[in-house]
């Protein structure tokens, strides 16, 4: 059989190639030094280096803070960092815009007027603690500690610490932002192979099937990931071996930067990726190109039955539902299966649907069927270090929460918001709410209702926001506490390694905390001391002790010098460890069966289809011919909401025209630049339309990140006088700051995952007025060519 | 030395027979590697303190084709530090000058902000600093280069598309790419001999405005 020889070939060549095809990403062939230093333009003196870790997005790249005379001159990449290799994205470079933002909150603020009126009184930290202690003691006295809610968002890494605080207080309600965004993907992966996320070994691969991911603009390991992707796509000779450039095939209703630079772009209708993947798996099984050994030994479903299950997912059905031709499905399936090294990519485009968990599992199945799981150039398990917590660890409170979500095993962030949005008359189950570096008023679906909840003093009696900026949510708080940014704090990180060797990264202050701002750890430890009682036993350390404790169980790091080493270098990796593939062969998968669960017992227990299945999305099934499907996307220069007040980033993207296919738009009598209304069952928004060729004719795309009504002058697109002379030069006042898409999106979830179905909205589009000013096309930076 | 439209074969140094040659800095941008991330744009602004509304470098995003056959191209633009800079010839006060290593500089104390250079530059890469009122542009981060570092945009380039070095040194990375890859420059017909070379430049994308206008007229 052809299959066997192919597998054998991979096995024998794989070992050689393992060393050879690892591309020399970190090499420094340029004669001048690539990085690691920075020099002052005026004094020609080198800056002082502080090695740290970025947190302007989840990728957590290695950075160097370059400072002179105690202030930060610039931030650059750390060239030795094992993941980011000295490269940094636009967001990382805008660090100073966030740190030295003239609109940062630098002192505790107490509300004076009505909630949301914007009148504040500056108070001392002692006063602030007094208010908090009073409110929190009242909960203890009433024996209702579960009425304390803590929502933390963008500073993902402190979530464990905030959870410790909330649990020690006696409440189970430690809510996280991730519950709103990628929960479907995380759960799908966990139930299938026991880890929350994959690392596609793109640098060593030769074929990539990309379902709805857009790594050129956004990815959870963005800079580290995409630099290996571009490297992997080029054919070259490495150590006398040919590395064949990977072919990149992208399925995306919108021609994203990634899709536009792919070898092939195919535009399926939103939410049908799972069906395409199943049809491909079907073709591969039919042609006997599957990996018999992996399926038999490492998955929990018999091959014959799998073949039977897949038989009904024909390429023709896939064509009917998705619009991608059956011929393409067959051809790409065969190409994928016949490539020596191949992998899939998939992110929000696949899993932020009502059928998100199933979609993700269908895509994962492709890797299992072809045996690309944790293989060279394949779909790999993440390599990270686990940190330990100082003992005693507060036990999870036994109070039963109405928001407990058995799917994720924790309190559902989404559940809280949708429930609070609904219950307008009942006594609220919340008395004290903390928001840390989060902006639910802006980032939740059904914005109107969530806003109403935060404004309503009877439903939300007390709200303290801990943030560096006056976000839309902080504006509605009763007390605002100044938080230190990631450039002023101590933290430890272990993001999944792209080199397949885990490492530890350190975040340390590159400058001292500005004003009276406090790092969250210091704040919570101090608050625990003020609270006293049972809290104190869990917070008997200072932040440095906490970090020390976290890495205490990583022996090799201790030998290398522990925290001192990290402070010197910014990261640590085990130099003796070599990349190892097929790790599951040693330990199995972290699932109930120890195998890659094609048949998910967790889904079965929920009464859902345990096999990877295509479930049509009802919203789209009932769509009228005049309706369009709404999808959202991210920009390459913004992270969610929180980079919007950066001048340098908002200068590049400050508004988000509503993108519609040119033919569709012309048929409706639209022209680029016209102002249109987009209407869904949930709400309506207005904005300028941009007609592009690169989008599915039945789809409307509106980006995230724009349309702020609060936060700061820059985010709102208003020039203003400040200590920064550049803020008066803000030039896009007339253009406006775009459209906030969330009011259109209903709070619906995937039954299996509980994550929000962000991409399932049917909308109608109508023209409001013709364009007045020259439209987007005539402007800077963006051109169209026929 | 144009050999057909859009192609430009750079003149090479005489293979290093004579002892220490002058340096000639040049940049190669490998567009197969460019991901349009605008990291260079922001890195440059941070490094050189460029105020809002003006840029020393930016990445042009071009969408091309008819649905469903659509692609995107990215073209990073910066001062070409030409061998024959028109801006230099046109400066009435000789504020613009060229260093030995080819970097075109502006003496901020001489510049009177008359904008003749801006009008004459075929690439539109010069601007008046709105706060300081004199003309500025990319200088290949000369303060970094003089201290042994590559320009800020090169340091940060995620796809490793930007490559910088001395094209008079045959062993340098730029020389080797110029020797092995077909490269293009922007507007070769202007005779400026740009020293920013592109690998894989899409000519429609290179002058997108012209192409777009042509399409509108047709």
* pLDDT tens digits, B174-213: 999 999 999 999 999 999 999 999 999 988 888 766 766 6
Pick from A265, A636, A729: CB nearest B51: A729
Q: What distance in Å separates residue A260's CA from the closest CA in chain B?
A: 4
Contact (CB, 8 A) for A753 and A357: yes
pLDDT score of A78: 95
| Residue of chain B whose alpha carbon sits nearest to that of A74 | B46
- Contact flag A30-B173 (C-beta cutoff 8 Å): yes
Using CA atoms, how far apart are residues A654 and A55, in angstroms rounded to an integer?
21
Token readout for A733 is 């006042």
Same domain? For A267 and A321 the reply is yes
Tell me the chain B residues in contact with residue A730 when contact means C-beta distances shorter than 8 Å: 52
User: Does residue A253 sit within a domain?
Assistant: yes
What local confidence, expressed as pLDDT, does residue A553 receive? Answer: 85
Question: In whole angstroms, what is the distance from residue A473 CA to residue A477 CA?
Answer: 7
For residues A547 and A466, membership in a common domain is answered with: yes
State whether the Cα torsion A284-A286-A287-A291 is positive or negative: positive
Show the tokens assigned to A550: 């976290």
Specify if B8 maps to a domain: no
Query: Which of the listed residues A583, A615, A647 is the one where a domain comes to its end?
Result: A615
Nearest CA-CA distance, residue B161 and chain A, Å = 9
> Which pair of tokens denotes residue A410?
């924790």
Which residues from A are below 8 Å from B37, CB to CB? 89-90, 216-217, 226, 636-637
Report the CATH number that the domain containing residue A257 is assigned in CATH.
3.40.228.10
Per-residue model confidence (pLDDT) at position B209: 67
Q: What is the pLDDT of residue A25?
A: 52
Taking the Cβ of residue A318 and every Cβ of chain B, the question of whether any pair is shorter than 8 Å is answered with no
CA A544 to CA A562: how far, in whole Å?
12
CB contact under 8 A, B208 and A783: yes
Shared-domain flag, residues A529 and A468: yes
3-state secondary structure of A17: helix
Which residue range is the domain that position B49 belongs to? 25-217
pLDDT value for B10: 44
Q: What is the pLDDT of residue B5?
A: 42
- Contact criterion met (CB < 8 Å) for A651 and B53: yes
Residue B2 Cα distances to A20, B167, B185, B187, B202, angstroms: 39, 18, 10, 11, 17
- Burial of A312 per CB tally in 10 Å (0-12, 13-18, 19+): exposed
Contacts of A169 by beta carbon, 8 Å cutoff, 6+ apart: A136, A145, A148, A531, A535
The answer to whether residue A745 sits within a structural domain is: yes
In terms of Cβ atoms closer than 10 Å to its own Cβ (0-12, 13-18, 19+), residue A768 is: exposed
End position of a domain, from candidates A539, A573, A607: A573
**Ranges of residues in chain B whose predicted pLDDT is under 50:** 1-17, 19
Number of domains in chain B: 1
Residue B132 included in any domain:
yes
Q: Does residue B76 sit in helix, strand or coil?
A: strand
Per-residue model confidence (pLDDT) at position A20? 38
Tell me, yes or no, whether B7 lies in a domain. no
Same domain? A398 vs A251: no
> Are the Cβ atoms of B37 and A217 closer than 8 angstroms?
yes
Nearest CA distance, B5 vs chain A (angstrom): 19
Q: Two tokens at A769?
A: 């007025």
* Residue at A673 is within a domain: yes
Confidence (pLDDT) at A739: 92
> Using an 8 Å Cβ cutoff, are B105 and B99 in contact?
yes
**CATH number of the domain residue B149 falls in:** 3.30.70.20
Looking at the structure, tell me whether residues A644 and A688 fall in a common domain.
Answer: yes
In a domain, B14, yes or no: no
CB pairs under 8 A between A and B: 217
Candidate from B72, B145, B156 with C-beta closest to A87: B156
Give residue A348's domain range: 1-30+197-387+595-615
Does B116 map to a domain? yes
In a domain, A59, yes or no: no
Same domain, A707 and A623: yes
Among candidate residues A744, A308, A729, A679, the one with its CA nearest the CA of residue B133: A729
- Residue A268 at interface with chain B, using a CB cutoff of 8 Å: no
Cβ–Cβ gap A785/B48 under 8 Å:
no
User: A15 and A152 in one domain?
Assistant: no
| C-alpha span between B16 and B187 (Å, rounded) | 29
The pTM of this model reads 0.91
Say whether both A344 and A354 belong to one domain. yes
Residues of chain B found within 8 Å of residue A75, distances taken between Cβ atoms: 46
The terminus-to-terminus CA distance of chain B in angstroms comes to 32
d(CA A272, CA A253): 10
B42 and A90 within 8 Å at the Cβ level: the answer is: yes
What is the C-alpha to C-alpha distance for residues B117 and B115, in angstroms, rounded to an integer? 5
Measured between beta carbons, the chain A residues lying within 8 angstroms of B156 are 76-77, 87-88, 93
Cα–Cα distances (Å) from A764 to A323, A682, A683, A694, B53, in that order, read 21, 12, 11, 20, 36
In a shared domain, residues A203 and A125: no
Pairing type for strands B57-66 and A782-785 reads parallel
Based on the structure, what is the number of domains in chain A? 3
Distance CA B197, CA B182 (A): 10
Q: Residue A135 domain-assigned?
A: yes
**Contacts by A719-724 with C-beta closer than 8 Å and gap 24+?**
A722/A102, A722/A103, A723/A102, A724/A100, A724/A102, A724/A647
Q: Which residue from A447, A584, A571 is spatially nearest to A499, judged by alpha carbons? A: A571
Which residue from A651, A661, A725 is facing B131, i.e. has the nearest CB? A725
Provide the CATH number for the domain around residue A427: 3.40.50.740
Per-residue pLDDT tens digits for A28-64: 567 788 889 999 999 999 999 999 999 988 899 999 9
A266: chain B residues, CB-CB within 8 Å: 68
What are the per-10-residue average pLDDT scores of chain A (786 residues)?
36 37 53 88 93 92 94 94 94 94 96 93 97 95 93 75 92 82 89 94 95 93 95 86 92 95 96 96 96 95 96 96 96 96 93 94 96 95 91 88 78 78 72 92 87 89 95 95 95 92 95 95 95 91 88 89 92 90 92 94 92 94 92 91 91 92 94 92 91 94 93 94 94 90 89 88 93 53 44
Give me B196's structure tokens.
């920013």
pLDDT at A685: 94
Q: Which two tokens stand for residue A775?
A: 């439209």
Query: What is the complex's ipTM, to 2 decimals?
Result: 0.91
Residues A21 and A158 in one domain: no
Which residue of A lies nearest to B48 if distances are taken between CA atoms?
A41
């Amino acid at each position: 059989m052809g299959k066997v020889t192919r597998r054998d070939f991979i096995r024998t060549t794989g070992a050689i190639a393992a060393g050879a095809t690892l591309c020399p990403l970190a090499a420094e062939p340029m004669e001048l030094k690539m990085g690691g230093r920075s020099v002052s333009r005026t004094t020609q003196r080198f800056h002082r280096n502080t090695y740290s870790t970025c947190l302007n997005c989840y990728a957590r790249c290695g950075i160097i803070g370059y400072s002179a005379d105690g202030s930060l001159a610039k931030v650059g990449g750390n060239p030795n960092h094992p993941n980011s290799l000295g490269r940094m994205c636009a967001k990382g470079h805008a660090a100073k815009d966030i740190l030295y933002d003239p609109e940062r909150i630098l002192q505790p603020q107490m509300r004076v007027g009505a909630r949301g009126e914007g009148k504040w009184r500056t108070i001392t930290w002692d006063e602030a603690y007094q208010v908090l202690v009073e409110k929190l003691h009242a909960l203890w006295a009433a024996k209702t500690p579960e009425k304390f809610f803590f929502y933390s968002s963008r500073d993902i890494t402190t979530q464990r610490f905030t959870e410790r605080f909330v649990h020690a207080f006696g409440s189970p309600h430690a809510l996280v932002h991730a519950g709103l965004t990628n929960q479907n993907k995380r759960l799908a992966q966990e139930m299938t192979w026991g880890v929350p996320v994959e690392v596609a070994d793109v640098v060593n691969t030769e074929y990539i099937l990309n379902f709805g991911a857009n790594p050129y603009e956004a990815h959870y390991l963005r800079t580290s990931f995409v630099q290996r992707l571009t490297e992997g796509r080029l054919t070259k000779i490495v150590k006398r071996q040919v590395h064949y450039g990977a072919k990149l095939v992208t399925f995306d209703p919108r021609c994203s930067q990634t899709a536009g630079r792919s070898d092939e772009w195919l535009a399926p209708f939103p939410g049908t990726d799972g069906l395409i993947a199943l049809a491909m798996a079907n073709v591969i099984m039919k042609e006997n190109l599957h990996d018999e050994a992996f399926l038999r030994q490492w998955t929990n479903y018999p091959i014959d039955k799998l073949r039977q299950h897949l038989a009904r997912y024909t390429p023709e059905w896939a064509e009917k539902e998705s619009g991608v031709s059956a011929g393409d499905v067959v051809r790409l399936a065969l190409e994928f299966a016949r490539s020596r090294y191949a992998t899939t990519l998939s992110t929000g485009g696949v899993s932020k649907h009502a059928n998100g968990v199933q979609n993700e599992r269908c895509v994962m199945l492709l890797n299992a069927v072809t045996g690309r799981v944790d293989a060279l150039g394949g779909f790999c398990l993440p390599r990270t270090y686990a940190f330990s917590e100082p003992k005693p660890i507060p036990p999870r409170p036994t109070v039963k929460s109405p928001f407990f979500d058995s799917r994720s095993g924790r309190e559902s962030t989404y559940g809280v918001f949708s429930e609070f949005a609904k219950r307008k008359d009942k006594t609220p189950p919340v008395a004290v709410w903390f928001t840390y570096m989060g902006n639910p008023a802006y980032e939740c679906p059904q914005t109107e209702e969530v806003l109403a909840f935060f404004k309503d003093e009877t439903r939300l009696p007390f709200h303290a926001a801990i943030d560096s900026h006056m976000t839309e949510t902080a504006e509605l708080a009763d007390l605002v506490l100044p938080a230190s940014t990631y450039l002023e704090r101590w933290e430890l990180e272990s993001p999944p390694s792209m080199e397949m060797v885990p490492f530890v990264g350190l975040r340390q202050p590159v400058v001292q905390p500005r004003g009276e701002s406090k790092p969250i750890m210091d704040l919570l430890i101090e608050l625990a001391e003020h609270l006293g009682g049972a809290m104190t036993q869990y917070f008997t350390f200072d932040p440095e002790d906490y970090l020390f404790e976290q890495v205490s169980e990583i022996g090799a790091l201790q030998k290398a010098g522990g925290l001192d080493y990290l402070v010197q270098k910014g990261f640590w990796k085990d130099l003796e460890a070599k990349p190892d593939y097929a790790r599951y062969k040693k330990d199995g998968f972290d699932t109930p069966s120890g195998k890659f669960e094609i048949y998910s017992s967790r889904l079965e227990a929920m009464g859902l289809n345990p096999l990877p299945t295509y479930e049509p999305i009802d919203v789209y099934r009932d769509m009228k011919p005049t309706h369009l499907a709404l999808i959202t996307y991210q920009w390459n220069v913004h992270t969610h909401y929180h980079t919007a007040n950066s001048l340098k980033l908002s200068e590049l993207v400050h508004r988000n025209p509503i993108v519609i296919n040119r033919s569709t738009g012309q048929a409706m009598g639209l022209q680029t630049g016209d102002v249109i209304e987009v209407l869904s069952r949930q709400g309506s928004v207005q904005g300028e339309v941009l007609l592009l060729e690169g989008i599915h004719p039945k789809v409307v795309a509106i980006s995230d990140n724009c349309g702020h009504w609060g936060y700061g002058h820059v985010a709102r697109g208003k020039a203003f006088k400040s200590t920064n002379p550049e803020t008066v030069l803000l030039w896009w006042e007339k253009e406006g700051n775009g459209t906030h898409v969330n009011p259109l999106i209903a709070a619906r979830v995937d039954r299996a995952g509980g994550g929000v179905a962000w991409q399932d909205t049917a909308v109608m589009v109508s023209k409001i007025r013709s364009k007045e000013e020259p439209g987007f096309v005539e402007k800077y930076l963006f051109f169209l060519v026929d | 030395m144009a050999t057909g439209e859009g192609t430009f074969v750079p003149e090479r140094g005489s293979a290093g027979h004579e002892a220490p040659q002058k340096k000639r800095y040049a940049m190669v941008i490998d567009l197969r590697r460019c991901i349009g991330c605008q990291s260079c744009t922001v890195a440059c602004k941070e490094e050189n303190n460029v105020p809002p509304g003006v840029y020393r470098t930016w990445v042009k995003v071009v969408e091309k084709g008819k649905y469903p056959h659509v692609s995107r191209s990215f073209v990073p633009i910066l001062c070409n530090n030409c061998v024959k800079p028109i801006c230099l010839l046109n400066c009435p006060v000789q504020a613009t000058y060229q260093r030995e290593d080819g970097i075109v500089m502006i003496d901020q104390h001489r510049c009177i902000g008359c904008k003749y250079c801006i009008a004459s530059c075929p690439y539109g890469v010069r601007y008046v600093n709105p706060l300081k009122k004199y003309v500025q542009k990319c200088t290949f981060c000369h303060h970094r280069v003089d201290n042994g570092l590559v320009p800020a945009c090169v340091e940060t380039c995620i796809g490793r598309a930007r490559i910088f070095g001395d094209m008079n040194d045959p062993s340098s990375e730029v020389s080797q790419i110029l020797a092995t890859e077909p490269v293009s420059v922007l507007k070769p017909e202007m005779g400026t001999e740009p020293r920013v070379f592109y690998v894989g430049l899409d000519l429609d994308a290179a002058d997108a405005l012209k192409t777009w206008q042509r399409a509108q007229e047709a």
